[in-house]
Amino acid sequence: MKHFTQFENISLAEQLIEQALQYKIDSRKHISKGLGKRVGCIFLNPSLRTRASTQIAALNLGMEPIIINMDKEGWALEMQEGAVMNKTTVEHIKDAAAVLGTYFDVLAIRAFPTLTNKDEDIEDFVLNQFKKYANVPIISLESAIRHPLQSLADMITIQENSKAIKKPKVVLTWAPHIKAIPHAVANSFAEWAVGCGHDLTITHPEGYDLDPQFTQGAVIELDQKKALKNADFVYVKNWSAFNDYGKIHSTDSSWMLTESHFENAPEAKVMHCLPVRRNVELSDEILDGPRSLVQKQAENRIFAAQAVLSKIII
């Protein structure tokens, strides 16, 4: 595995899940594997879980993680080829990425979408600029269109919690939000859930269809009540419109899950990647109740990142 930026195939996903579960039992079992190697974690956007879990994962392998908050501490980056840099940008991505590639064995990048330039976002422009110019393995810490480390942690969490269920029914439901939110978590979750062979249903209000490249193989059901019937896992996430790119079409609070939504799915567990806007996206009663797997998902971010780093530095 050279880079880790998306779902590749079920065999690799199963290997990573298995390795992550082993690290969960004994996180220091490969404590010398990464000695002498450095991972540069480059954040163009904020983070809590991804930042901390990736550092811990690297340290568990004996690697040295170095965090660079490019949005706050670095030079303003120019992304466009041939730009005349006489305005606010100070350093071109091709220079910065090439330098970072000489400093680090692996680069991990967080780069959110613009939500205004659809073409640039869907080609994952910023992540691919790093890939093009850094010349070292790249790990996505969430790009414009995918969040694969989150999805790997989610698949680990589903596997751990579905021991008696052969093919769990997994529902990805849109939730209300006050801001326009990227599609990366929802896209990636759909890509990984279908790729890992889960029975995936996606439910959202009209106008919130995701990019079809990520939803092939899933059932789309616009009636949330029907979608939730017999669910084993319900993944809650807001996203902005994809077709009317980056726009908010609904803030309908009836889409926020409460206990009353689960009358036809009494055993369902609820997932969310966090951070969550309590009582907007998800109710306190769900988040603080026995259905919630959100803390387990967050914990599994460490072992997901550790399995990926371990595979990359082989």
Instruction: Tell the smallest beta-carbon distance from residue 87 to ligand CP (Å).
Output: 29
Question: Can you read off the two tokens belonging to residue 25?
Answer: 């039992």
Binding of residue 274 to ligand CP (CB under 6 A)? yes
Instruction: Tell the smallest beta-carbon distance from residue 53 to ligand CP (Å).
Output: 8
To the question of whether residue 47 is assigned a binding role by annotation, the answer is yes
Of 50 and 215, the one with the shorter C-beta distance to ligand CP is 50
If binding means CB under 6 A, how many residues of this protein chain bind ligand CP? 9
Taking CA atoms, 97 is separated from 110, 147, 278, in Å, by 13, 21, 38
Tell me the residue number closest to ligand CP, measured at CB.
Answer: 50
Binding of residue 47 to ligand CP (CB under 6 A)? yes
The window from 94-102, 206-214, 227-235, 272-280 that contacts ligand CP (CB under 6 A) reads 272-280
For 221, counting Cβ atoms within 10 Å of its Cβ (0-12 exposed, 13-18 middle, 19+ buried), the class is middle
Of 49 and 269, the one with the shorter C-beta distance to ligand CP is 49
To the question of whether residue 237 is assigned a binding role by annotation, the answer is yes
To the question of whether residue 273 is assigned a binding role by annotation, the answer is yes
Instruction: Tell the smallest beta-carbon distance from residue 110 to ligand CP (Å).
Output: 8
Q: Which of 5, 6, 19, 50 binds ligand CP (CB under 6 A)?
A: 50
Binding of residue 90 to ligand CP (CB under 6 A)? no
To the question of whether residue 6 is assigned a binding role by annotation, the answer is no
Question: Can you read off the two tokens belonging to residue 27?
Answer: 């996180």
Cβ-proximal residues to 222 (8 Å cutoff; 6+ apart), any chain: 203, 204, 205, 206
To the question of whether residue 301 is assigned a binding role by annotation, the answer is yes
Of 15 and 47, the one with the shorter C-beta distance to ligand CP is 47
Transcribe 15-45 into DSSP letters. Answer: HHHHHHHHHHH-TTTTTTTTTT-EEEEEESS
Of 98 and 274, the one with the shorter C-beta distance to ligand CP is 274
Q: Which of 49, 92, 169, 291 binds ligand CP (CB under 6 A)?
A: 49
8 A C-beta contact, residue 167 and residue 151: no
Instruction: Tell the smallest beta-carbon distance from residue 222 to ligand CP (Å).
Output: 26
Binding of residue 146 to ligand CP (CB under 6 A)? no
Inter-axis angle of helices 148-160 and 184-195, to 10 degrees? 50
8 A C-beta contact, residue 313 and residue 63: yes
For 79, counting Cβ atoms within 10 Å of its Cβ (0-12 exposed, 13-18 middle, 19+ buried), the class is middle
Binding of residue 48 to ligand CP (CB under 6 A)? yes
Instruction: Tell the smallest beta-carbon distance from residue 45 to ligand CP (Å).
Output: 8
Of 291 and 301, the one with the shorter C-beta distance to ligand CP is 301
To the question of whether residue 110 is assigned a binding role by annotation, the answer is yes
Q: Which of 273, 276, 287, 309 binds ligand CP (CB under 6 A)?
A: 273
CA-based angle 161:147:89, to the nearest 5?
A: 160
Secondary structure (3-state) at 314? coil
Strand pairing report for 38-43 and 106-110 = parallel
C-alpha torsion sign, points 276, 277, 280, 282:
positive
Taking CA atoms, 181 is separated from 66, 119, 121, 236, 239, in Å, by 28, 17, 13, 13, 5
Place of tokens 């205004």: 116
Residues that bind ligand CP (CB under 6 A): 47-50, 142, 150, 273-275
- Going by the annotation, the residues of the binding site for N(2)-succinyl-L-ornithine are 142, 177, 237, 277
- Going by the annotation, the residues of the binding site for carbamoyl phosphate are 47-50, 75, 110, 147-150, 273-274, 301
- Going by the annotation, the residues of the binding site are 47-50, 75, 110, 142, 147-150, 177, 237, 273-274, 277, 301
